[in-house]
Structure 1
Amino acid sequence: MARMSRTSRAASGAFSPVTMIVVLVVGVLALAGVGILSAYSPELKSGNDGGGHVLSKASTGFGALPVLLRSLGVPVVLNRGVLTDASDDSLLVLTPAVQTKPEQIDDIIHYGPTLIILPKWVAAPDANHEGWVRTLNAYSGKSSLEVLPEGLLKDTTLIEREGRATVSLRRPNGTSFGKPIQIEALRTIGGDAWIPVVVTQQGDAILAMHRETRTYVLADSDFLDTSALKSLAGARTAVDLIEILRPDGSPVVFDLTLHGFQRTRSLLRLMLEPPLLGLTLVLAALAVLAGFQAAVRFGPARDHARIIALGKRGLADNTAALVRLAKREHHMAAPYALLVRAAVARVIGAPRSLSDDELNAFLDRVSRTTGAHSTYSALAERAKAAKTPGDLMQVAGDLYRWNQELTRARQ
């Protein structure tokens, strides 16, 4: 028997209130965590995927460039959304991939200087190091130029050289620019629509500006990517290329939307940010209070009754409403006393042949014999003297107590 009782207690304790509360709290917190993470998932990505953008630490990426600029005191912004009017004075840097469609660049509205860095290398992930890549070969010049919108692509050529060479740069007026650096398979841009900004010693433009749109294009990404910054000369040249395009004191804005890191708007995100955050907290508090009220409620849930009751219940409710409307509740005290007298007389077996006065006297004797708190005659007088609903309730309570005192032992 003792073993069965222990088993029963163990079985009942498996779903104790404390256990259920803990399970409920953990479930709610887990669900809230999943919702928050899903709302902010684009911004939680590290971006170290070996791509050609500023979040990538690969040699073909541009992750080192914003770090270098910040260390020199240059304001840097990593843009994940739509540009505002405040960014028009900044230098916008676009790093499209070969898969980028020209329409995506056209959709970016920026009235300040814009630099487009053409993609160059075909790379594959390095299985031994996360975020690293292995360069396989270079994209063809046609593939690299296809990322440009139609207005920039017309009459534009990309000249490709073979082998590795030391490249010295200068301005079109012959002024020396940057430091000589080693470049693999140098690329330069040409065409009647382009104005050279930085050229090689042979006069081929590696950085040029479009005559109509005033957009800058860097023909060879190896002047600004992470591999270019591995040497002091490369770092100095990269900074000079940025400074020649950046207005004095303005930030450098690196776009991330072309690589799928844009900040998307959603209803869940709006609910978690001001000004709707307050509403979300209020709704959460209401849900907690509703759950607490359901947990501590006494008794079963009360069924909603009909607005207009049917049958005897409806007749009784309507009668009570009429009596309340007429303010004659206290007149019901005397009839109620007679009903209680008849019920008590029937239970205790009072003789049926007694008159009203004789029955009252009989009940008074029984009341004194049983030690009741009052006699029926006194209660009847109080019922006749009731003047307010409060008097009615008080004498009704005393009649109920008198009824219990005379009939409890006989039921």
Structure 2
Amino acid sequence: MTGGASFSRGGALALVALGFALFLALIVLIASGASFGGGGNNGQAHAAGKGLNGYAGLVRLLEGADYSVTRSRSPAGLETEGLLVLTPPPATDPEELGELLKKRENIGPTLVILPKWSALRPPQELPREARSKFKPGWVILGDAYELEWPSKLPAPYRFTHKREVLGQDESAGWDGLNLSGELPTRTILHTDEDALHEPLVADAAGHWLAIRVLGEEGSAYYEDAHWTTFVAEPDLLNNYGLADEARAAAALALLRDAAYDGDITDITFDLTLNGFGASENLLTLAFRPPFLAATLCLLMALLIIGWRAFQRFGPPAAEAGPGIAFGKERLIANGAGLILRAQRFGLLGAPYATLAGRRLADRLGLAGHEPTAIDAALARRLPDEEPFSRRAARLQSAEKPADILEAARALDDLTYKL
């Protein structure tokens, strides 16, 4: 007894479609290098940081100003033709950064924001009520520090990074890009004056807080390279600095200036230098030109094959019932087994020849199945064929299994040809 199918065609199609969709989603997530461990809000100075020293506020500010902003975790983001914003950590290798800046000369403009603060998580000895007010990624700012690696950069990027602590009677004001205001602290980081650079923002004492690299006049960099901007005082751009309206306006002015006065609207914040890079893989390449076309063709072929698998190739081959009743089938199997055990193969020839004669007589429309009558009718229908009587005699005289099988096939051949 046979039962119905476990799943209907619609149910099977739904299972296959759901599995295929989940497989595609997994491929896309792997290819995009998505991170399941959070957004990178670890209290450090980068575009995903929401602490005082981070730049998540700058990202939101630019998005609100209708810029197309991307936080890139892929090395491919370093090759953007838009504005690339780098936030290198304190332990940056000057040779690697220098190579990256030289490569960017022929690709697009670059803005480099130097780090300033040593950031600390809230100490354990704080009262629980105070600790509960800290949100994820919030930090306590420690000391400000100057960096050594800027002085080891290749020319014309090289400069000296200095730290200045203002006295109570000194102003912490800044001026530049037709804007002015006050810095949030009296500890200021700046660069030395250099003929290969020009100041964009300076403090009240004339220290350069943000500079653009010009290069030597007449050099290839001076004539053809894309702009490179350094911000030595990150409090102009970080979340701490953006708490002030004037500094927020200065941040927008600095980014607009670095992006060729707003001609470029695509801004990429790199996170690979801060340890959030994702390596390239085959799946990433499969969803990128020129390999994207082949991937789409493969997906379309899979969809067509899946659709065709649910279409019937012909009429249903449903059986009306067993060809032989179960009792007769068992009787025949037992009889065949008895002949095999007794090795009496010679007993098969005569009955099979008689059975074949009856089939041929029915096909030829004869009343009886005498061999002579069958031979005569065959001579009219198939004049080139060996007579039935000769084939039947060969079957009746055969004793070996191979000879019996060959002679029986010769008889069956006549039936098929009719």
- 2:268 counterpart SS class: strand
SS at match of 2:139: strand
Secondary structure of residue in 1 paired with 2:162: strand
**Cα offsets for 1:121-146 (capped at 9, x unmatched):** 22245685664221341353136x45
Q: Does 1:344 align with 2:344?
A: no
SS at match of 1:138: strand
Which residue is 1:117 aligned to? 113
1:199: how far off? 1.6
Query: Residues 68-127 of structure 1, C-alpha deviation per residue, up to 9 Å, x if partnerless?
Result: 23433456565652566854xxx5432112243324422242235533211012224568
1:392 matched to which residue of 2?
A: none
User: How far apart are 1:225 and its partner, in Å?
Assistant: 0.8
Q: Sequence identity, in percent?
A: 22
Work out which of the residue numbers 250, 254, 263 in structure 1 matches 2:268: 254
CA distance in 2, matches of 1:261, 1:150: 26
One of 224, 230, 236 as aligned partner of 1:217: 230
Change in 2 beyond 3 A, CA 1:160/1:378: farther
Show the counterpart of 1:335. none
Change (3 A) 1:275 1:67: same
Match in the other structure for 1:37: 29
Correspondences of 1:370-385 after superposition (within 5 Å): 376=374, 379-385=377-383
Distance 1:93 1:166, change over 3 A: farther
Q: Distance in 2 between matches of 1:277 and 1:229?
A: 45
| Partner Cα separation in structure 2 for residue 177 and residue 288 of structure 1 | 64
Measured at CA, do residues 92 and 286 of structure 1 come closer, stay the same or move farther in structure 2, by a change above 3 Å? closer
Relative CO higher for 1 or 2, CA cutoff 8 Å, sep ≥ 6?
A: 2
Say which of 200, 203, 212 aligns to 1:200: 203
C-alpha change, 1:381 and 1:120, in structure 2 (3 Å) is same
**Tell me, which stretches of 5 or more residues in structure 2 are unaligned?**
123-130, 216-220, 222-226, 318-348, 359-365, 386-410
CA 1:269–1:346: 2 relative to 1, 3 Å? closer
State the alpha-carbon separation in 1 of the partners of residues 287 and 173 from structure 2. 53
1: CA distance, partners of 2:49 / 2:279: 21
- Whether the 8 Å contact between 1:170 and 1:200 is mirrored in structure 2 is yes
Between the aligned partners of 1:243 and 1:377, the Cα distance in structure 2 is 105
Q: Distance in 2 between matches of 1:147 and 1:347?
A: 108
Q: Which runs of 5+ in 1 are unaligned?
A: 1-8, 299-338, 349-363, 369-374, 388-395, 404-411
Aligned to 1:51: 44
Tell me the TM-score normalised to structure 2 length: 0.58
SS of equivalent residue, structure 1 residue 52: coil
How many residues matched?
319
What does residue 238 of structure 1 align with? 251
After superposition, what is the alpha-carbon deviation per residue over 1:156-195, rounded to whole angstroms, capped at 9, x for unaligned?
A: 1412326898621235xxx973223422522222254554
Decide whether the 8 Å contact of 1:117 with 1:217 is kept in 2. Answer: yes
How far residue 26 of structure 1 moved from its aligned partner, in angstroms, is 5.6
Contact in 1 for aligned 2:43/2:139 (Cα 8 Å)? no
Q: Cα distance 1:86–1:344, how it changes in 2: closer, same or farther (>3 A)?
A: same
Match of 1:190 in 2: 192
- What is the rounded CA distance, in whole Å, between the counterparts of 1:365 and 1:217 in structure 2? 110
Residues 340 and 83 of structure 1: CA distance in aligned 2, closer, same or farther (over 3 Å): farther
Distance 1:237 1:400 in 2: 99
Closer/same/farther in 2, CA of residues 139 and 284 from structure 1, 3 Å limit:
farther
Distance 2:240 2:155 in 1: 31
Structure 1 counterpart SS, 2:26: helix
CA contact (8 A) 1:166 1:182 kept: no
Letter in 1 for 2:116: K
SS at match of 1:197: strand
Cα deviation 1:26-80 (Å, max 9, x = unaligned): 6555444322211113488744443322233332111222332343345656565
**Corresponding residue for 2:302?**
284
Contact 2:166 2:172 in 1 (8 A): no
Counterparts of 1:296-311 in structure 2 under 5 Å? none
Q: Residues 300-340 of structure 1, C-alpha deviation per residue, up to 9 Å, x if partnerless? A: xxxxxxxxxxxxxxxxxxxxxxxxxxxxxxxxxxxxxxx99
Q: Which residue of 1 aligns with 2:61?
A: 68
Residue in 2 that maps onto 1:167:
172
Asked whether the equivalents of residues 69 and 76 of structure 1 are also in contact (C-alpha less than 8 Å), the reply is yes
